[in-house]
Amino acid sequence: MDREGKTVSDAAESGEKISFRDVRAEILRRITIGPWGPGTLLPGEVELAQEFGCSRTTINRAMREISDLGLVDRRRKAGTRVRTTPLRAARFEMPIVRAEIERTGASYRYALVQRGVEPAPDWLRAQMNLTPKDRVLHVVCVHYAGGAAFQLEDRWINLAALPQAEAEEFSRTGPNEWLIATVPFSEVEVSFTATGADALVAAHLDHQPGDPVFIVERATWWQGAAITFVRMSYRKGYRMTTRY
């Protein structure tokens, strides 16, 4: 956060305009080290605007961003209160695999492993909220980085919601890229976990069965209808990292 090099008093002294950044930094300071510990009810926006010598709009923007960070709760009339359990939210950017691989300078290669239309298995019906008669397209493919397997993609596409998927071969590019270019989505659920490699994963990612594998699963909906569910297994040693 605190990348802004000047303090509020600096800005005030020099007669410069107060930026919402200055306000944000100062309020963050007061919450983290200053007098506004967990549970504190902060002064109202009008009062703060007076104190900082800026308009309420500026205070509002600073407060809104701090609220977005998860450090305070804001309610009309009730005011702004510092959360007792600050839940710093981290942002994870999830690029498509191809971009992630090419960004590292490695060459990207794609290989289709399996493709077929199947009745949805029970766990998938539960996960995607499908009816028993819904058909799904099941695609398994591998993304390689510099010659070595990087990620195994195990994807299910709801043909009731996306019938045109049945005409796609996915022999040269992955369903990932096709989907991004083709369908919008309104809601996404992502989860991370670790499991032991099964036979499929072991075979394609060069693992021993049972080896720990980092898993990302993502379910996507559009206007209430399930579009696709994907389970991505990463090669050994993969780390997903973010800074904030």
Could you list the residues that contact DNA (CB under 7 A)?
17-22, 42, 44-46, 53-58, 60-61, 63-64, 67, 74-80
Six-digit token string for 71? 């450090």
For the CB of residue 119, give the shortest distance to a second copy in the complex, in Å. 26
For the CB of residue 22, give the shortest distance to a second copy in the complex, in Å. 16
Q: Does 189 bind a second copy (CB under 8 A)?
A: yes
For the CB of residue 211, give the shortest distance to a second copy in the complex, in Å. 7
Q: Which residue from 10, 13, 47, 187 is in contact with a second copy, where contact means CB under 8 A?
A: 187
Q: Are 72 and 64 in contact (CB under 8 A)?
A: no
How far from 16 is each of 47, 69, 77, 90, CA to CA, in Å? 20, 27, 32, 32
Report angle CA 208, 210, 216 to the nearest 5 degrees.
100
Q: Are 52 and 200 in contact (CB under 8 A)?
A: no
Q: Which residue from 121, 146, 196, 209 is in contact with a second copy, where contact means CB under 8 A?
A: 196
Spatial CB neighbours of 155, under 8 Å, sequence gap ≥ 6: 138, 139, 140, 141, 175, 176, 228, 229, 230, 231
Q: Does 90 bind a second copy (CB under 8 A)?
A: yes
SS3 109: strand
Residue 165 DSSP label: G
Q: Does 46 bind a second copy (CB under 8 A)?
A: no
For the CB of residue 132, give the shortest distance to a second copy in the complex, in Å. 26
Q: Which residues make up the interface to a second copy (CB under 8 A)?
A: 1-2, 28-29, 32-33, 37-38, 70, 85-96, 98-99, 180-181, 183-196, 210-215, 223, 234, 237-244
